[in-house]
Structure 1
Amino acid sequence: MSADPWTTDQTLQQHLETRGVSRRQFLRFARDIGVLLGVSQMGLPKLAKALSVVKRPSVVWLQLQECTGCVESVLRTNEPTIGNLLLDVVSLDYNHTLMAASGHAAEEALQHAMKENAGEYLLVVSGSIPTKDNGIYTMIGGRSAETVIREAAKGAAAIVALGACAHFGGVQAARPNPTEAKGVREIIRDRPILTIAGCPPIGDVLTASVVHWLTFKRLPESDSEGRPLFAYGKRIHDQCPRRAHFDAGQYVEQFDDEGAKKAWCLYKVGCKGPATSSPCPIFLWNDQTSWPIGSGHPCLGCTEAHFWDTMTPFYNRLPEAVVAGFPIEHRVDRIGATLAVAAVAGVSLHAVVTGVQMSRRRADGSTYLLDAPPEDRANGTASGGDDDYPHTH
């Protein structure tokens, strides 16, 4: 935990000052988070002001049936940032991986945090909830994961389901789902729940969501899966820097071929970008160094529910996805031919129309200036003899 704990009487800005964070750094952070959240330029000062006077929130972070990858993703960056400080605060009251206490002391810290902040704390959950055989596959302090989360959810103001396991059950829920693992939203139904999807999720999305909750006292707007729209509102396919190659019919056929060396579209080697909503192309990974597709690897669709079943085999084409109203297979197999035919048809039609227009103009002794401004073409002032053709009016 932090060596400089955020006390209940401090505002966030006061706390950050004790941690050596300058006013300029705070405002820069508020600006960056505001951009992520889609706050307008005029709204950024209001966000910074509202965030600066926030008093210490209580956050309980449960880790259930999972691999700890979500915590690692959230906390690991190349250098300390103000985002880390906020997430350090997030882990203050309870997180059994990060806290110094263990055993009975850790359980006492959890019970104390829930009792002292009943109805006000933010509950972060990573990991799935096994329900088979009374949940014996994940026991914490002698109690099942389901018992622990139900108890913690009762006093929570809101819940964040962090990562694929908390989203839908993760790899544990893949067929045949031997522990009958479930996601948070399948267990808890009477609390507002935000899903930060991914295996693992991008830490910046959690940071921005926590800031939104601290500032506006509510969770960000979300989609049908509970994912915040500011991060998951668009598909990877629509934001991918390789999209132009998809539209041009230029695909990597196998890894290390010429298409791969030229960074062509990875659809044919299994990319699930057309069926995946994720901020990966925008937020990037490893301190904004790169991301899977940027490194030459196809997207596996890890932000989508049950992707272990629906997106596998991972290196096969995805026939059921739809792009712009057309099935992917149709678009991939025929888009090149379709575009070629359309291009030829367009050129031919343009030539025919142009020929007809020119014939009519010659018949009445005038030539229509095809390169004239639209307003001149509309009012007829672009008409004239052949000598007028080089000019615009």
Structure 2
Amino acid sequence: MSKHQALMKRCEQRLEELSKQTAIKSTSLEKRLEDSGISRREFMQWSAVTATALSLPLQFAPMVAQAAELADRVPLIWLHMAECTGCSESLIRTDTPNIDTLLFDHISLEYHETLMAAAGWQAEENLEHAMEAYKGQYLLAVEGAIPTANGGHFLTVGCKGHTGVEIIEETAANAAAIVAVGTCAAFGGVQAAAPNPTGAKGINKVINQPVVNLGGCPPSEKNIVGTIMYFIMFGHLPPLDMYDRPKWAYGARVHDNCERRGRFDAGEFVETFGDHGAKEGYCLYKVGCKGPYAYNNCPTERFNHHTSWPVLAGHGCIGCSEPDFWDTMADFEKPLGRRELHSLDKTADYIGGALLGATAVGITAHAVAGIFAKNIEEVEE
């Protein structure tokens, strides 16, 4: 049996198990789509695109559709820790309903401080009830870093004054899977910038269970929904890279798929913001773009209904999907320099270690290496 056949069989078994469970939501996804003016054809197109995004063959498209329709069988608890709620905003801020946002609404969202009507003691009761009623079944999504200094008391949540450390340990204990949504939850975020007085950490540094990290400040809605869809389809987390990020979303450098890559190869660079090169869409490396060092699918997925992303809008990537980017990638409007260029043609599993201090290796062959080196020397002068 091939790898894809085994994966398809696992998916079929998982969906069959979910179909036998009682629907938690009273309104079907089909009805929600119909009420929002989204046709079955559009839904199937979305399923095919999502299957492709998840690095699955197109044969999985009908299973993606079935999994979406069964999403209300999967309870979701979404926690907010030390963060700005930007990751939730990435997912829910939309001018018109789309399938991703409707699917998130269709999932049995048991607890989400930003979206739920409950507050105070009622909110605490909702969380406790969800943890008990769906013990071992719920998907736990965490947004924000966990402050650990001073006994965790730099962050207390709710009317009972529980610390973030206490909340994450209790909710993670009986979760079927755990997703760190955004760089804060994954790696500590700007709260963990040196000297990190609150001892902010990513959740995988606080608990001992496996965690999938969705790096990004914020991650795109497709990365959030796609990871949830993968769990619904297979009952486990997707293949991960060295930083526990899904390879389907973080397997390629931002640089590789950037619409300005041709300008990079041609040695055409923006020298200062607002110059002729900026107006013509030249490469932003000289004004600080960290795309060659960052791994994310921003160029292909973009944000706000696939409308745009920072580089398309005219500012370089700041590497926000990478661990410690707030320290290692600064200054955000200056290039890192010649020293780090050894990592430009390395793989996703290598570059993180290289950027954080692994042994340097020579620059690999490049069609325009001479042109690029000349331009970088000009920056250094």
Could you state the TM-score of these two structures normalised by the residue count of structure 2?
Answer: 0.81
**Partner in structure 1 of residue 267 of structure 2:** 249
Are residues 203 and 91 of structure 1, via their aligned partners in 2, closer, same or farther at CA, if it must alter by over 3 Å?
farther
Alignment partners' CA distance in 1, 2:25 and 2:99? 11
Aligned residues of 1:13 and 1:53 also touching (Cα < 8 A): no
1:19 partner amino acid: R
Q: Which amino acid aligns with 2:281?
A: A
Residue 311 of structure 1 corresponds to 329
Partner of 2:92: 75
Percent identity between matched residues is 44
Q: Which residue, 201, 204, 211 being the options, matches 1:182?
A: 201
1:9 aligns with 2:22: yes
Q: Distance in 1 between matches of 2:71 and 2:103?
A: 12
CA contact (8 A) 1:65 1:128 kept: yes
* Cα deviation, residue 148, structure 1: 0.3
How far apart are the structure 1 equivalents of 2:23 and 2:277? 56
CA contact (8 A) 1:54 1:215 kept: no
1:335 aligns with 2:356: no
Superposition deviation, residue 244 in structure 1: 1.7
Structure 2 counterpart of 1:29: 46
Answer yes or no: is 1:155 the counterpart of 2:170: no
Alignment partner, residue 196 of structure 1: 214
Query: Higher Cα Rg: structure 1 or 2?
Result: 1
2:136 pairs with 1:119: yes
Say what the alpha-carbon RMSD is for the aligned residues: 2.5
Mapping of residues 234-313 of structure 1, within 5 Å? 234-313=252-331
Q: Which among 327, 330, 345 is matched to residue 324 of structure 1?
A: 345
1:303-353 CA-partner distances (Å, limit 9, x unpaired): 00110000001111112142226778x9899621889xxxxxxxxxxxxxx
Letter in 2 for 1:161: A
1:246 Cα offset (Å): 1.3
Please state whether the residue corresponding to 1:316 is helix, strand or coil.
coil
SS, match of residue 213 in structure 2: strand
1:202-225 Cα offsets, whole Å, 9 max, x none, are 111111111111111111111111
C-alpha distance in structure 1 between counterparts of 2:57 and 2:367, whole Å? 38
* Secondary structure class of the residue paired with 1:278: coil
* Counterpart code for 1:79: T
Does residue 103 (structure 1) correspond to residue 124 (structure 2)? The answer is: no
Amino acid at match of 2:52: V
2:109 alignment partner in structure 1 = 92
**Does residue 167 of the first structure (1) align with residue 186 of the second (2)?**
yes
Aligned length: 331
Question: For the residues of structure 1 that align with 2:42 and 2:263, how far apart are their CA atoms?
Answer: 39
For 1:102 and 1:332, locate their aligned partners in 2 and report how far apart those are by CA, in whole Å: 59
The AA in structure 2 aligned to 1:155 is N
Deviation at 1:155, TM superposition (A): 0.7
Q: Select between 127-136 and 69-78 the one with higher mean Cα deviation.
A: 69-78
Q: Relative to 1, partners in 2 of residues 1:337 and 1:318: Cα closer, same or farther, differing over 3 Å?
A: closer
Q: Could you report, residue by residue, the CA deviation over 1:271-319 in whole angstroms, capped at 9, with x for unpaired residues?
A: 0000000111000112111111111111100000110000001111112
Q: 1:57 aligns with which of 74, 79, 82?
A: 74
Tell me, yes or no, if the aligned pair for 2:292 and 2:344 is still in contact at 8 Å.
Answer: yes
> Partners in 2 of 1:13 and 1:82 — Cα distance?
18
- With over 3 angstroms needed to count, the CA separation of the structure-2 counterparts of 1:13 and 1:34, relative to structure 1, is farther
Cα distance in 1 for residues equivalent to 2:321 and 2:132: 34
Residue 270 to residue 52, structure 1, CA distance change in 2 (3 Å): same
Per the alignment, residue 55 of structure 2 pairs with 38
AA at the equivalent of 2:30? E
Cα-to-partner distance string for 1:184-213 (whole Å, 9 max, x where unaligned): 1111222x3111111111111111111111
Aligned counterpart for 2:226 among listed residues 203, 208, 213:
208
| 1:49-103 Cα shifts (integer Å, max 9, x gaps) | 4544555111100000111111111111231012112212447200111100000
Query: Counterpart amino acid of 2:329?
Result: M
Q: Any stretches of 5+ residues in structure 1 without a counterpart? A: 1-7, 340-393
Alpha-carbon shift at residue 11 of structure 1 (Å): 8.3
Letter in 1 for 2:370: I
Give 1:203's aligned amino acid: E
Distance 2:369 2:164 in 1: 50
How far has the Cα of 1:130 moved from its partner? 0.4
CA distance in 2 between partners of 1:107 and 1:14 (Å): 26
Q: Is the 8 A contact 1:128 1:168 kept in 2?
A: yes
CA distance in 1, matches of 2:372, 2:143: 47
Question: 5 Å matches for 1:342-381?
Answer: none
For the residue of structure 2 that corresponds to 1:315, the secondary structure is coil
Deviating more after overlay: 243-252 vs 37-46: 37-46
Work out whether residues 160 and 195 of structure 1, in 8 Å CA contact, stay in contact via their aligned partners in 2: yes
- Distance in 2 (CA, whole Å) between partners of 1:96 and 1:183 is 20
For residues 255 and 54 of structure 1, what CA distance do their matches in structure 2 show? 45
Structure 1 pair 275–178 and aligned structure 2 pair: CA distance change class (3 A): same
User: Does the 8 Å CA contact 1:276/1:301 hold for their aligned counterparts?
Assistant: yes
Higher relative contact order (CA 8 A, sep 6+): 2
SS at match of 1:188: coil
Deviation at 1:27, TM superposition (A): 2.2
Taking structure 1 as the reference length, what is the TM-score of the superposition?
0.79
Which region of structure 1 is more displaced relative to structure 2, 278-287 or 8-17? 8-17
